[in-house]
A and B are shown apart, each in its own frame.
Chain A
Amino acid sequence: MEKRRGKMWALMCLLLLNWVGDVSSLSVTVTDVECVYEYVLYEGDTISGNFVVVDHDIFWTSDHPGIDFIVTSPGGNTVHSLKGTSGDKFEFKAPRSGMYKFCFHNAYSTPETVAFYIHIGHIPSDHDLAKDEHLNPINVKIAKLREALESVTAEQKYLKARDTRHRHTNESTRKRVIGYTVGEYLLLVAASVLQVFYIRRLFSKSVAYNRV
């Protein structure tokens, strides 16, 4: 009986200590500021993630301010910030446990869609090993393995979001190229027709006879 309870307790501990917080690729249409909250259980947890501006209604010129990303700790201090980018990765250690705020700020007036992914990973340390006798050093290794896999998943999400962004860019480029070309043709035809009319007018009797 004792052994069973011990095993169940170990399982609970394992699940608790290996608890990781994830936010899947979230897309936010940021008009001004958009914030997401995520709870960090342990101090020293690694908060990692990435974000990409996926879809923009307007074409970004070179002087576009980009999107700012600010992480605020429960105490109110800014832990991490990235300014004026179209997408980036981030990773830092949480200085304390509590509710962290992840905010996107759009300096420009047009709404932008931002896809992001946040992962909070915890690896049981030697201190936890000492505290709980049911925790095996192998659990630490498993936690490290899990974290490594999560980093691969995070990278995949980043690549996927970037792929979406590139696809949007390509489609918009294609539309614009075709549009501008057709517009160019119409302008060419219109200009030549106007030229002909003007020349005819120069030679018409009503304006001035043989003025040219």
Chain B
Amino acid sequence: MILRSVLVLVLLVVVLSPASESLRFELQSGQTKCIAEDIKSNSMTVGKYHVVKPNEDQPLPDSHKLTVRVTSSHGNSFHSAEKVESGQFAFTAAEQGDYISCFWAAEHSPQITVTVDFDWRTGVHTKDWTNVAKKGQVNAMELELKNLFDTVQSIHEEMFYLREREEEMQELNKATTSKMFWLSFLSLFLCLSVAGLQFWHLKSFFQKKKLI
């Protein structure tokens, strides 16, 4: 599977709770790097990406352009762009799962390194706070406190989620131990039956051979 290819370095971003990131990574020409995020259902997600220019004044040469594709784990494509320098996408995740965004750098004879700056936010951090502030005469402190309140709520939700996962794992462990319990009985039974069959078969064999 391409994601597990040893030749291709895969970046999997597993965002398990609302979080923001401004991540910078390097792509070699012809290389693919994919970022996957585990997004909860009905949560908003926003992503922005751009290529960091090696030379500030000059325009970006074609060799440094990216191809981007954002897909869900079921294969639905949410965003795709060919040979671009920057872009952004936003969508609401319909269901919980892994959403993958992959970046390709085009093949080029001398291997060049493309530095990509990627900002992917989900949940609480999608609200663009500077825009909210500009709109009204919102008190700066009030804004900050609102932000903190939302963070606390997301922490609370995350705790519930973690609790659920722990419970699932507990169930899995219980199932494994009970299975082992029954399997040990089965192995005892199998052992005894095999021994019994051997004995019976050899006894009848020797009786046929008139040795007993």
Could you show 9 A-B contacts with beta carbons less than 8 Å apart?
Answer: A4-B137, A25-B17, A26-B12, A28-B9, A34-B9, A111-B4, A159-B162, A170-B172, A174-B172
A residues neighboring B (CB under 8 Å): 4, 7-8, 10-11, 14-15, 18, 21-29, 31, 34-39, 54, 111, 113, 115, 117, 136, 138-139, 142, 145-146, 149-150, 152-153, 156-157, 159-161, 163-164, 166-167, 170-171, 173-174, 177-178, 181, 184-185, 188-189, 192, 195-196, 199-200, 203
**Once the chains bind, are A166 and B179 in contact (CB under 8 Å)?**
no
For the complex, give the distance between the alpha carbons of A39 and B138 in Å. Answer: 29
**Once the chains bind, are A18 and B151 in contact (CB under 8 Å)?**
no
B residues neighboring A (CB under 8 Å): 3-4, 6, 9-17, 19-26, 35-37, 115, 120, 122, 129-130, 133, 137-141, 143-145, 147-148, 151-152, 154-155, 158-159, 162, 165-166, 168-169, 172-173, 175-176, 179-180, 183, 186-187, 190-191, 194-195, 197-198, 201-202, 205-206, 209, 211
**Once the chains bind, are A195 and B155 in contact (CB under 8 Å)?**
no
**Once the chains bind, are A178 and B13 in contact (CB under 8 Å)?**
no
Partner of B12, one of A10, A29, A136: A29
Q: Which label, helix, strand, loop or mixed, suits the secondary structure of the B interface?
A: helix
A22 partner residues in chain B, CB cutoff 8 A? 19-22
For the complex, give the distance between the alpha carbons of A181 and B122 in Å. Answer: 44
Partner of A160, one of B21, B145, B162: B162
For the complex, give the distance between the alpha carbons of A36 and B22 in Å. Answer: 10
Q: How far is the CB of A200 from chain B (nearest CB, A)?
A: 6
The closest CB in chain B to the CB of A192 belongs to: B194
B35 partner residues in chain A, CB cutoff 8 A? 26
A200 partner residues in chain B, CB cutoff 8 A? 205
**Once the chains bind, are B22 and A21 in contact (CB under 8 Å)?**
yes
Given A11-B143, A18-B144, does the pair A156, B166 have CB atoms closer than 8 Å?
no
**Once the chains bind, are B4 and A24 in contact (CB under 8 Å)?**
no
For the complex, give the distance between the alpha carbons of A10 and B144 in Å. Answer: 12
Q: Which of A150, A153, A185 has the most CB of B within 10 A?
A: A153
For the complex, give the distance between the alpha carbons of A183 and B148 in Å. Answer: 56
B137 partner residues in chain A, CB cutoff 8 A? 4, 7
**Once the chains bind, are B24 and A36 in contact (CB under 8 Å)?**
yes
**Once the chains bind, are A11 and B140 in contact (CB under 8 Å)?**
yes
For the complex, give the distance between the alpha carbons of A15 and B130 in Å. Answer: 8
Given A31-B6, A195-B198, does the pair A25, B15 have CB atoms closer than 8 Å?
yes
**Once the chains bind, are B152 and A142 in contact (CB under 8 Å)?**
no
| Extra contacts besides A138-B141, A157-B17 (13): CB < 8 Å | A25-B19, A26-B12, A26-B21, A29-B12, A54-B14, A111-B6, A142-B141, A142-B144, A149-B152, A157-B16, A163-B169, A171-B172, A174-B175
A34 partner residues in chain B, CB cutoff 8 A? 9, 11
B159 partner residues in chain A, CB cutoff 8 A? 156
For the complex, give the distance between the alpha carbons of A178 and B179 in Å. Answer: 9
B197 partner residues in chain A, CB cutoff 8 A? 192
Given A178-B183, A200-B205, does the pair A153, B21 have CB atoms closer than 8 Å?
no
The closest CB in chain A to the CB of B22 belongs to: A21
A166 partner residues in chain B, CB cutoff 8 A? 169
A111 partner residues in chain B, CB cutoff 8 A? 4, 6
The closest CB in chain B to the CB of A31 belongs to: B6
The closest CB in chain B to the CB of A170 belongs to: B172
Given A7-B140, A166-B169, A170-B169, does the pair A27, B36 have CB atoms closer than 8 Å?
yes
The closest CB in chain B to the CB of A117 belongs to: B19
The closest CB in chain B to the CB of A205 belongs to: B209
B168 partner residues in chain A, CB cutoff 8 A? 167
Given A163-B162, A174-B172, A184-B187, does the pair A28, B17 have CB atoms closer than 8 Å?
no
